[in-house]
Structure 1
Amino acid sequence: MARSRRSSLRLQPSLSTSSLIEMSQRECLTKPLIEYEDILPNMMMNESSLKLTDLLARESDVTVSNQISSLIEYRGFAWHLLVTVIHTLWLLWTFLPENWLHYIGVHYYPSRWWSLAVSNYILILFLYSYIALQFWNVEVEAIPRDDLRAICDGDQVVEKDIVKYGWKDTNGVFDLRISDVNEVLYD
Structure 2
Amino acid sequence: GRLLVCPRCHRPAGKAGICLQCGDNAFQCPKCRNINYEKLDALFCNDCGYCRFVKMETWLTCRFTHERHVGPIRSEAESRQASEILESLVRQLPGFGETPTPPASPGSPASHDGQLQSPKRIVGEDSQLRLLCSIVDLRQKILKFRRSTLPPEREAEAWDVGLTHALPLPSASCETCML
User: Normalising TM by the smaller chain, what interval?
Assistant: under 0.3
Structure ranking higher in helix proportion:
1
Q: Tell me: higher relative CO, structure 1 or 2? Use CA pairs within 8 A at least 6 residues apart.
A: 2
TM-score by length of 2: 0.23
TM-score by length of 1: 0.22
Larger of the two Rg values belongs to structure:
1
